[in-house]
Amino acid sequence: MARIVVVGAGMGGLAVAARLAVKRHEVTLCERSGGHGGMLGSFRRGGFAFTSGATVLTLPAVYRDLFLKTGAALEECVDLVGVDPTTRCSFDRGATVVDVPNATRAGAAAAFDGAFGSGAGADWNRFMDRGAAMWGVMRTGFFEVPSEPAKPRRATGGFKDFRTTMPWRTLRPLARSYLRDPRLRMHAERFALGAGLDPRQAPATVAVLPYLEQTFGLWTVRGGLHLIADALFERCLERGVKFLAHTEVAEVSAPGGTVDGVVLADGSRIDADAVVADGCGDALAVGGAAAPRAKSGTERASGYAELHLALRGRTPEQPYRTYLFPDDPAAEAEALFGADGRPPADPTLCVTAPGDDGSAPEGDEAWTVHVRVPPHGSGGERGTVDWDAPGVREQYAETVVDALARRGLPVADRLRWSELRTPADVERATGAPGGRVAASPVSGGRPNRSKTAGLYEVGAGAHPGGGLIGVGMGAALVAELIGR
């Protein structure tokens, strides 16, 4: 039995702590804030409740495996429900609307044919065939293999696999080679944008993400996806994990290059045989000096904002998730990833409307509008926005509400109140630099095992990357590494 300190109670930290506790290790979980869940949280005000961060789950098998192997089935802890349609896509200010059904290839093809004309569905199926081929290579050669500094990850096992994953190619030309309709290409590229990646430079392997969503379905939890974080936290406590809230780790002690504990911000110490950093490995000092870690890609990701809307009345037949696409996607990408750094004036909007799940007083509804924006930076850093500057928050909330109206979802006359959560708020709550979006799981991350013996990493900045899929898989890989 080893003494293990996990730094950070995000989803990666919670998952690895639970897995290690089941292996009978002595696990201490240190969290600098008073909460848990990291990017996945909740916000409540005046009888309205909102989930912060992710609102949907793809590939639920990752979390079914986690919960089953740590004590009880996922469905015994939360009410997991399918999202159907997975997405309502609205183009040209509502002139073209398509509902993409959940987990049916034939249904998705028929929906695209109906919206964009005959042949669009066949184009999409060919694109999905490419995503399926990539997943076949990456599942066993990338996602299920831990990353170590002396052995760089390789998602390819030969020339055939190299051609399948196309590491030399980006998503945009790949999508154009399969998808003739520009609206269908926007739908494909929104998976890159949603993962915080520049759609002009995102790797071709982003095609795996729509394939996973269409094949394994899209899921959420009745009452909010943050309830998974709550259930996992309870699982940690049940398995004997010692949780230390408001406990900041200042340094990993590693004399001679081998971990022997951590030093806390107050100067006290916790002895340990191993340390697992949840998404903060590049920020932790090791032996008095910052650890030399490979870049994860997260430092180049966009930030994200959430506008929580408390609305009077209910919207008939409003689906759980709606994407409202901009008139000029190129202008949005330049605003997000250009050198100037400015909030997009005409952004892609993702509207989450949970419906009648207890998130709002009877007869009302709680919507969250998700927007990708430049990360926070108060010192004039390149490509950032000072979201704490006077008037910036209020002005952008108005921009989003105006954009909703232009695209056919006016809410101003129904608005009881709104609350904008900016990248600055995300940074303060989670410690994520600049409030950046967790990088896509297909873009990898820092090695799971560091060059310092006994120091490991999970979470958004580590292999196999961010998002609930990557974080869950990474925790399993690190638990197995430590258990060897």
Q: Is the pLDDT confidence value at 283 over 90?
A: no
pLDDT at residue number 41: 92
- Single-letter code of the amino acid located at 449: R
User: What's the CA gap between 34 and 247, in Å, rounded?
Assistant: 9
Picking from 244, 294, 290, 293, the residue whose alpha carbon sits closest to that of residue 270 is 244
Q: Is the pLDDT confidence value at 50 over 50?
A: yes
Contact in structure between 88 and 97 (CB atoms under 8 Å): yes
Q: Which residues contact 282 (CB under 8 A, 6 or more apart)?
A: 290, 291, 293, 296, 446, 461
Q: 19-29 pLDDT, tens per residue?
A: 999 999 999 99
- For residue 261, the cross-strand partners are 253, 271
Q: Is the pLDDT confidence value at 328 over 60?
A: yes
Q: How does residue 469 score in pLDDT terms, banded at 50, 70 and 90? A: confident
User: What's the CA gap between 367 and 426, in Å, rounded?
Assistant: 19
pLDDT at residue number 338: 86
| φ, ψ for residue 392, nearest 5 deg | -65, -45
Mean pLDDT of 34-59: 93
Q: Is the pLDDT confidence value at 294 over 60?
A: no
CA dihedral in degrees (330, 374, 431, 359; nearest 10)?
-70
- For residue 87, the cross-strand partners are 100
Q: Is the pLDDT confidence value at 15 over 90?
A: yes
Give, in order, the Cα–Cα distances in Å from 176 to each of 127, 182, 200, 325.
Answer: 10, 8, 12, 18
User: What's the CA gap between 241 and 17, in Å, rounded?
Assistant: 7
CA dihedral in degrees (111, 117, 123, 125; nearest 10)?
20
- For residue 203, the cross-strand partners are 170
- Single-letter code of the amino acid located at 470: G
Write a three-state SS string for the chain.
CCEEEEECCEHHHHHHHHHHHHCCCEEEEECCCCCCECCCEEEEECCEEEEECCCCEECCHHHHHHHHHHCCCHHHCCCEEECCCCEEEEEHHHCEEEEECCCCHHHHHHHHHHHHCCCHHHHHHHHHHHHHHHHHHHHHHHHCCCCECCECCCCCCCHHHHHHHCCCCEHHHHHHHHCCCHHHHHHHHHHHHHCCCCCCCCEHHHHHHHHHHHHHCEEEECCCCHHHHHHHHHHHHHCCCEEECCCCEEEEECHHHECCEEEECCCCEEECCEEEEECCCCCCEECCEECCCCCCCHHHCCEEEEEEEEECCCCCCCCCEEEECCCCHHHHHHHHHCCCCCCCCCCCEEEECCCCCCCCCCCCEEEEEEEEECCECCCCCCCCECCCCCCHHHHHHHHHHHHHHHCCCCCHHHEEEEEEECHHHHHHHHCCHHHECCCCHHHCCECCECCCECEEEECCCECCCCHHHHHHHHHHHHHHHHHC
Q: How does residue 162 score in pLDDT terms, banded at 50, 70 and 90? A: low
Within a 13 Å sphere around the CA of 15, how many CA atoms are in the beta-carbon half? 33
pLDDT at residue number 380: 76
pLDDT at residue number 93: 94
Q: Which of the two residues, 304 and 157, has the higher pLDDT score? A: 304
Contact in structure between 475 and 19 (CB atoms under 8 Å): yes
Question: Measured at the alpha carbon of residue 162, what is the angle toward residues 216 and 164, in degrees to the nearest 5?
Answer: 40
Of the given ranges (9-23, 264-278, 328-342), which has the lowest mean pLDDT? 328-342
User: What's the CA gap between 222 and 359, in Å, rounded?
Assistant: 9
Q: Residue for token digits 């650890």?
A: 291
Highest mean pLDDT among 47-56, 116-125, 325-334: 116-125
Q: 101-133 pLDDT, tens per residue?
A: 999 999 999 999 999 999 999 999 999 999 999
Q: Is the pLDDT confidence value at 154 over 60?
A: no
User: What's the CA gap between 251 and 264, in Å, rounded?
Assistant: 7
pLDDT at residue number 235: 97
Mean pLDDT of 345-370: 94
Say what the pTM is.
Answer: 0.93
pLDDT at residue number 358: 87
At how many degrees (to 10) do helices 182-194 and 105-116 cross?
Answer: 130
Mean pLDDT of 40-49: 94
Residue % of the chain over a pLDDT of 70 = 93
User: What's the CA gap between 464 and 475, in Å, rounded?
Assistant: 10
- For residue 446, the cross-strand partners are 462
Q: 359-387 pLDDT, tens per residue?
A: 999 999 999 999 999 999 987 788 899 99
| φ, ψ for residue 440, nearest 5 deg | -60, 145
pLDDT at residue number 439: 63
Q: 197-253 pLDDT, tens per residue?
A: 899 999 999 999 999 999 999 999 999 999 999 999 999 999 999 999 999 999 999
pLDDT at residue number 379: 77
pLDDT at residue number 156: 47
- Quote the mean pLDDT of the chain: 91
Q: Is the pLDDT confidence value at 155 over 60?
A: no
Mean pLDDT of 167-186: 93
pLDDT at residue number 430: 85
